[in-house]
Structure 1
Amino acid sequence: MESAKLNFNMNGHQNIIVMRHGDRADYCEPLWVTTAERPWDPPLVHYGKVRAFQTGQRIRSQVGFPIHRVFVSPFLRCIQTAAEVVAALSAVDHNATFSNDMPSIDNSKLKVAIEYGLCEKLKTMSEVAPKDGKIDFKISDLEAMFPEGTVDHNVEMVYKELQQWEESREAFKDRYVHTLKVLASKHPSENLLIISHWGGVSATLYKYFKDATKYFIDYCSCIELRTQITNNDDGSGSSVEFEVVNSHGISYTENNVSIHDHVISHPSV
């Protein structure tokens, strides 16, 4: 397995896709929060699951490289998105038919892990925030949502606890990019799919488009990163530098000009 990954990455690059979750219930069904037990942790609506699965199919057929590991925020909308994407990538329980030229991924080899460092920015200003300020996740229940054999219990989280409430905007961006760099450095011979929130995708974009005034990041939109594989990183991510090579479902405004899915080659971040 390890040698196969290394052979695939003979060009010396590691690929990382950063993806937003699918369509969330509270935004699609405003009355959902009035009866929800956990209004701050909405699930996907049906179409959100369909869109997530279709995005997994697109990744499998179009990006040109296999995904070896998926890292996901513990919020339910991200977990459900990841479950659909993993099913599409591995063609589990969906009777999907893929052409012979698509990368073949064995479900037993595609691994998933939950990562607290990919959580959205926690803020108490929201009306649906828990009154006691406590957000709890039962990790074993969330892991049970993934296809059998895909969860890797041996992976240690970069952040072992949730972040404090009222995290600053800059601290959030720094935390998110740090998480990406550490995950990349700990798994250099593997291509990664990161499933997170609007804020996670935007935190990556803000590092590149300093002059952008407005972003549109659709549900299940993706930004594709690439980094040079090195042997001198100590696992801290200090030597990891990313460049953006593609995007899907993302647009931004710069100098009053709207740019959609702009493919760029930027200095690393």
Structure 2
Amino acid sequence: MDAPDSCQTAAQRFQNVVVMRHGDRIDNFEPLWVSQAARPWDPPLVQAGKDRAFCTGTKLRSDLGFQINRVFVSPFIRCVETAVQVVTALSASEHPTLSKYESDQPLPVDPSKLKVSIEYGLCEMLNKEAIRGDLAPKDGQRWGFNIPELEALFPAGTVDQTVERVYKELPQWGESVTGARARYAEVILALADKYPTENLLLVTHGEGVGSSISLFLEGATVYEVNYCAYSELRRPVFDKDQPTTAGKFEVVKNLRQTGLSYSLEIAETGDLSLPSE
């Protein structure tokens, strides 16, 4: 990446975690897609969603001020396709532009710049609030994610298949909204603690991005997460002790510029879940 890596400062450094929602999903633009789909619970992106994801990747590359070292992604295809575009932009051998992306020739990438892995714990909320209608697999188990096929979508050399997942399998169908939020919080912290000297990008779903704000910004209520919106978290890490120790995460408060809307007023009543996405 082009910007200096803030994780390289001696003594005290900062670990950065970016939590990002996927791009524009097809069933929000083509209503008939669901009736014809073999996997109606797993909509891919429309082309505009892929374009948005690539452009967001170029923005992250130029604006963050630090290098993304690892990417973790939900196994749902809309998240994988989003991550493919973002990873391409972040790992491109030369500074990416939309015109180069739209050309017939694939962008050359440098796979040494980052590594990507699929993490079950970043998946969609597995409940009827998120999986619309009666679209989930009937037994709530056979989601049919083919991990090798999903990994093959990423630029050559960027997938790290040695990473041990936080969630070894998908959560059980019927988890509560509160339970899903707790899961997202658990995974964010677990991945950060597992790689304390690396900057992470987590590509997930709207509720996951919202949870990353409410977890670390006291009194925050997130009420809108646009496609490819992202939060930015930061915490100090210290090398004086072994193993590496870390402080508390804080939210970098430029959220309205990254596609998020939130309030710092604590709601007294009502369900604060985001609309199904």
Q: Would the aligned equivalents of 2:219 and 2:264 in 1 still touch at CA under 8 Å?
A: no
Q: Tell me what 2:270 maps to.
A: none
Residue deviations 1:48-81 (CA, integer Å, cap 9, x gap): 0000000000000111111110000000000000
Q: CA RMSD, aligned part only? A: 2.8
User: Residues 14-33 of structure 1 correspond to what in structure 2 (within 5 A)?
Assistant: 14-33=15-34
Q: Tell me what 1:116 maps to.
A: 120
Q: Would the aligned equivalents of 1:6 and 1:189 in 2 still touch at CA under 8 Å?
A: no
Instruction: Give 3-state SS (helix, strand or coil) of 2:259's partner.
Output: strand
Matched, 1:243 2:250: yes
- Taking a change above 3 Å as real, the CA distance of residues 51 and 12 of structure 1, as seen in their structure-2 partners, is same
User: Residues 11-160 of structure 1 correspond to what in structure 2 (within 5 A)?
Assistant: 11-91=12-92, 96=97, 106-124=110-128, 126-134=133-141, 135-160=143-168
Residue deviations 1:77-97 (CA, integer Å, cap 9, x gap): 000000000111122699649
Instruction: Give 3-state SS (helix, strand or coil) of 2:226's partner.
Output: strand
Structure 1 position 123, deviation (Å):
1.2
- Which structure 1 residue ranges, 5 or more long, are not aligned? 98-104, 257-269
Instruction: Give 3-state SS (helix, strand or coil) of 2:180's partner.
Output: helix
2:110, 2:223 → 1: CA distance? Answer: 36
Residue deviations 1:22-53 (CA, integer Å, cap 9, x gap): 00011121111010000000000000000000
Q: Tell me what 1:210 maps to.
A: 219
1:253, 1:7 → 2: CA distance? Answer: 30
Q: Tell me what 2:8 maps to.
A: 8
- Which structure 2 residue ranges, 5 or more long, are not aligned? 99-108, 267-277
Structure 1 position 241, deviation (Å):
2.5
- Taking a change above 3 Å as real, the CA distance of residues 7 and 157 of structure 1, as seen in their structure-2 partners, is closer
Residue deviations 1:144-194 (CA, integer Å, cap 9, x gap): 000000000110000101001111222211111111111111111111001
1:6, 1:33 → 2: CA distance? Answer: 44
Q: Would the aligned equivalents of 1:40 and 1:129 in 2 still touch at CA under 8 Å?
A: yes
Structure 1 position 106, deviation (Å):
3.7
Q: TM-score, normalised by structure 1?
A: 0.82
Aligned amino acid, residue 155 of structure 2? P
Structure 1 position 253, deviation (Å):
4.2
1:210, 1:7 → 2: CA distance? Answer: 29
1:7, 1:93 → 2: CA distance? Answer: 22
Q: Would the aligned equivalents of 1:67 and 1:110 in 2 still touch at CA under 8 Å?
A: yes
Structure 1 position 249, deviation (Å):
0.6
2:243, 2:178 → 1: CA distance? Answer: 25
Q: Would the aligned equivalents of 1:90 and 1:106 in 2 still touch at CA under 8 Å?
A: yes
Q: Would the aligned equivalents of 1:185 and 1:240 in 2 still touch at CA under 8 Å?
A: no
Aligned amino acid, residue 152 of structure 2? A
2:47, 2:119 → 1: CA distance? Answer: 25
Aligned amino acid, residue 160 of structure 1? K
Which of 222, 229, 236 aligns to 1:228? It is 236
